[in-house]
Structure formats: C-alpha cells, structure tokens
Amino acid sequence: MIHAGGIDLANRMKRGAVPEHVVTLGQIPDLCGIQEIGGRIEIGAATRHWEIENDPMLRCRLPMVAGYIAGLGNIRIRMQGTIGGNIMAGEPGYEMLPLLAVLGADLVFADWSTGGQEITAAREWVLPRASSSKTLLLTSIRIPLRPITVAWNRELRPALGLVASLEWSGDRVLHGAAAVIGDHRGPMVREHHFTEALPAADAAPRAANIAEVWADKFPDIDVLVGPDRDYCRHVLSVMLRRVLHTMLKT
Amino acid sequence: MTTRDRLTIRLTVNGEAHTVEISSNLMLVDLVRERLNLQGTRVACDQGACGACTVLVDGRPITACLSFAFTADGAAVLTIEGVAGSDNTLDTVQLAFHDSGVPQCGFCTPGMVLLAKAYYMQQPMPEGADVERWLDANICRCSGYQVFRRALHSTPPREDAP
C-alpha cells in the first residue's frame, strides 16, 4: 500500500485494514512540487494541499484552484494530506477529482507492471477498487491553462456538492462542465454546450433556464441524496444556477 | 530508518534529541504520550477531526493521531509541554490565551494553543478572517470559540511584523 500524507491509510488501519507492505513516497522530490510546462500546470502527486493553496505561481495562474483547495478539510489536514492521496483514497466525499474533471485535467500514472506511463482524463477516472489500480502509481496531475472560470457550491456538504466551469472566448461563453461531488462511482460530469457563443451579459439573465436544462443531464442524481428524484433535481438546479451566477459575474 | 516491522528513528521533541525504536504502525500521538510520557497531547476522536492531538512537526500543525511516528524521523516535534520557555515563562500565545480566560474544561486547549502558535509563526500579525480559518480546524466541546478567537486577535504582533 502506498503512503504519502498517511491520513487515509492510518484511518483504514484503525478500522482493521492490515496492509502487507507499506511503501512511503511522501519525501520523493520528483513526486512533489508545482510547475508550469508548455501551457499546463503540473502538480506532483505527493504535493500537499497547503503547498498548492499557497503556491505563488498557481495563485496567479489558477487562483480558483487555490481558493477551492483552501476550503478542503482544515488546516491540519491540508498541511498533511497530498493531492494524490485525495484522488487515490477513493472516498466519494473527497473533492479534488470533481474539480480536476471540470478543469479538463489529466492524471499521469506510472505502471509498475509495464514500466510505462498511462494518462487518464480525470473525468474518466473510476475511483480505485481493490484490483483495478494495484499496478498504477499516480505521479502527477496536469491541468491545462485555458480561459476558464470555476465556481462551486458546498453548502450541502457532505450530502451533495457541485463544482462547475465555464470556458470563454473573449467575453463569450462557449462551453460548461459541471461535476457532482459525492458520487461513489467517480466524478459525475455533465457538459453544457452553449448553442451560440453567448456574451456573459446575455447569459446571466438566462442562468436559471440554463441551470434547468443542465440539471436534466444528471438523471441519476437521486443515488446520492435520496429517493425523491424531483427534490434532488431541484436542489441540483439551484446549485447550478448559483454557481452560474458566480461565474458570469466574474 | 529501515523497512522492518520495527525501526529506529531519531527526532527532536521539545528541543530534546531522542533515538527510539518503534513499531512501524505506531502513531505519533502514542509515541509522545506513551513512550515519551508527554501526556498534554490529547486523544479524542482518533480520526483527525477534532484536533485535540495537534502537535507541530517542523512548525506545521499535524494531526498526531493520524500520523505514523516514523514520518517524524529527523523532524523537530513540539508538544504543549515545550511551548513555554525552559524557565516556565509562558509563550506569547499562551499569555494571550491566559489573559483572555480561555480554559473551560481545558481538554482542547493544548491543541488550540499549538494551532494558534503555528498560525502566529506563519503570520506575524494575526488578523481577520485568517484567524477564523485556522481556528476552525479544532473542536472545542465547550464551544469556547469566541474566546479563542479573541485570544488570538489579542496576541501582540510579532516583533518582525511589518
């Protein structure tokens, strides 16, 4: 079992897990750090949340990522936990994977069995189950630098959360992606393509309508919150409308 | 450090060097409480939520109940017993807590003091929402949060503050 920050491993051992071997990777320099490389930000998997949140370059280039991470857990957990652990722990309430999904990020793995590299879109990553990830070691996360705004709503945490992004061309909205936080199966991501590139000033009054259409793209939302599908859909549309307002204002 | 069930680590705790043989699954909180007999560090939730077990490792506030002791190999650990000076003069943060009448039941106080000290070490001039963001990491069952907040706000700016 891999150990870096150690939070989830320790908790699992307290619940009875007995790993045969523990390999600790937290201090390997190549797995830590943040850099800008050719139009993307690359974050080492063993980088702690606190380091990401306070990295001057990241705060300048992707301020919304720093802001989002500042709301994870608490200061003790962010100083100890790593971004790789947040993703690979496979806990449905953990919030990094949905953010990375709406940012269009990739997860870079080293494959122990082949010695090669595997790159998977964050939005397609299925949370690890016993056999599926045994030979894969997450080494870094690549976030493309695009004209994008991000907003989130965590007010119903831990039952349900939402993070969304809008991609821009000048002052026009082209495309949106929203991911639900809390799904056991991986980030539940749905896209919304604006039929015509919409100026923000025109999109803002239509946020409620856009949210209604967008919410219909989450037909299985009730598996997260409860059996009343109409209520779940309503809650989701409210969250979508609020994050849309936030993004269109900025 | 070796890859065995038992290993030897070297660390500094409250300024004092220690070499200890530990089992690989020993938690840091058990090392300081049971092996080094520093029982000011509390155990409450034992799952990283409450912060009663907060210690500083190389200046960072750490959840000692979720940290393996071997991760402190080579590190400087500060527990509540090491916050005051060797002549028992209270640290600046301890003084502010004392003067604000912080202690109620006192169970969370060691963790709160260390959390506040870590903040004070990072931020020479405690201010505004930043204080709240730090202090919300730890739980006070007596709900004395406003007193903790006042205490940290009343901590004088560090001498190197701009």
* Residues B39-62: tens digit of each pLDDT: 999 999 999 999 999 999 999 999
Domain A2-144: CATH architecture, name and number where available: 2-Layer Sandwich (3.30)
Interchain CB distance below 8 Å, A14 and B24 = no
- Residue A230 phi, psi dihedral angles, 5° rounding: -65, -40
Residue contact B48–A70, C-beta within 8 A: no
Q: What's the pLDDT score for residue A131?
A: 46
What is the model's pLDDT at position A225? 66
Residue A99: the pLDDT is 95
Q: Say yes or no to pLDDT of B1 above 60.
A: no
Q: Tokens 């299925």 identify what position? A: A126
DSSP element (H, E) containing A23: strand A23-24
Contact with chain A for residue B61, Cβ under 8 A? yes
* pLDDT at residue number B162: 62
Residue of B nearest to A25 (CA): B71
- What span, in angstroms and rounded, lies between the C-alpha atoms of A184 and A197? 34
B60-63 and B54-57: which strand pairing?
A: antiparallel
Sign of the torsion angle spanned by Cα atoms B113, B122, B20, B17: negative
Over residues A188-204, mean pLDDT: 77
Q: Distance, in angstroms, between A80 CA and closest chain B CA?
A: 7
Query: What is the ipTM metric for this complex?
Result: 0.85
DSSP A29: G
* Whole-angstrom distance, CA of residue B123 vs CA of residue B85: 21
The answer to whether residue A182 scores a pLDDT higher than 80 is no
Is the pLDDT at A193 greater than 90? The verdict is no
CB pairs under 8 A between A and B: 55
Which of residues B121 and A228 earns the better pLDDT score?
B121
Question: Which residue does chain B place closest to A18, by CA atoms?
Answer: B25
pLDDT value for B4? 57
Per CATH, which fold does B92-154 belong to? DNA polymerase; domain 1 (1.10.150)
- Residue A127: predicted pLDDT: 65
Q: Is B145 on the interface with A (CB under 8 A)?
A: no
pLDDT in tens, A64-108: 999 999 999 999 999 999 999 999 888 878 899 999 999 999 999
- Say yes or no for a CB contact (<8 Å) between B68 and A7: no
Instruction: Give the number of other Cβ atoms within 10 Å of residue B52's Cβ.
Output: 25
Sheet with strand A148-156: strands edge to edge: A148-156, A160-169, A172-181, A188-199
Is the pLDDT at A200 greater than 80? The verdict is: no
CA distance B158 to B125: 6
* Annotation: CATH topology of B6-82: Ubiquitin-like (UB roll) (3.10.20)
- Report CB contact under 8 Å: B62, A80: yes
Q: A75 vs chain B: nearest CA distance in angstroms?
A: 6
**Chain A partners within 8 Å of B51 (Cβ):** 74, 76
CATH of domain A148-249: 3.30.390.50
Closest chain B CA to residue A10: B66
Please name the helix (run of DSSP H) or strand (run of DSSP E) that holds residue B76, with its range, or none: strand B76-78
CA angle at residue A230 from A227 to A236, to 5 degrees?
100
Domain with CATH 3.30.390.50 in chain A: 148-249
Chain B positions touching A17 (Cβ under 8 A) are none
Q: Are B68 and B28 in contact (CB under 8 A)?
A: yes
Chain A: residue whose CA lies nearest to B62: A76
Domain with CATH 3.30.465.10 in chain A: 2-144
Beta-carbon separation of A75 and B134 below 8 A: yes
Residues A164 and A244: beta-carbon distance below 8 Å: yes
State yes or no: pLDDT of A226 exceeds 60.
Answer: yes
Segment A180-195 mean pLDDT: 77
d(CA A104, CA A142): 9
pLDDT of residue A136: 84
Query: Which residues in A208-238 are b (16+ Cβ under 10 Å) and which e?
Result: eebbeebbeebeebbebbeeeeeebbebbbb
Of A117-126, A130-139, B34-43, B46-55, the poorest mean pLDDT is in A130-139
Mean pLDDT of A15-32: 84
Question: pLDDT, tens digit, for every residue of A202-218?
Answer: 777 888 888 998 888 88
Across the range B128-136, mean pLDDT stands at 83
Min distance B28 CA to chain A CA atoms (Å): 11
Q: Write down the domain spans for chain B.
A: 6-82, 92-154
The proportion of chain B whose per-residue pLDDT surpasses 90, expressed as a percent, equals 62
Of A13, A74, A80, the CB nearest to B67: A80
Pairing of strands A117-121, A136-144: unpaired
Average pLDDT, chain A: 86
Q: Which amino acid is at A15?
A: R
Rounded Cα distance between A105 and A41, Å, is 9
Rounded to a whole number of angstroms, the distance from the CA of B86 to the nearest CA of chain A is: 27
pLDDT of residue A130: 44
Give the mutation candidate from A2, A27, A75 for the B interface (greatest B CB count, under 10 A): A75
What gap in Å lies between CA B136 and CA B134, rounded to an integer?
Answer: 6
Nearest to B62 among A14, A70, A79 (CB): A79
pLDDT at residue number B79: 98
Q: pLDDT tens digits, residue range B63-122?
A: 999 999 999 999 999 999 999 988 889 999 999 999 998 767 889 999 999 999 999 888
A12 CB neighbour count, 10 Å cutoff: 14
- Rounded distance, CA B88 to CA B104, Å? 22
